[in-house]
Amino acid sequence: MPRKKQTKKIGKKSTKKQKSKGLDTLTLALYLISFILVVFGAWYHQIYWIVIGFIPFLVALWYEHMKKHI
């Protein structure tokens, strides 16, 4: 028996929003603040500024993680 020719089904594209692969404004701002605090602390040899600089970095990582699971 001859096989039927398979045709592509043309349907609606999904209406779900595509998740952006880039970083949003809040995450970039938090990374920038973290970078500035770490560089400032390293430049002036102030360890507590370097430690405080990791707080916005960790918040940005947490925010990105939570965005993926919503």
Residues with pLDDT less than 50, the chain: none
DSSP 7-46: -----PPP-SPPPPSS--HHHHHHHHHHHHHHHHHHHTT-
In a domain, 34, yes or no: yes
In a domain, 1, yes or no: no
In a domain, 54, yes or no: yes
Q: What is the pLDDT of residue 56?
A: 96
In a domain, 32, yes or no: yes
In a domain, 36, yes or no: yes
Q: What is the pLDDT of residue 9?
A: 66
Which structural domain range is residue 41 located in?
A: 25-68
What is the number of domains present in the chain?
1
Full-model pTM: 0.66
Q: What is the pLDDT of residue 52?
A: 95
In a domain, 15, yes or no: no
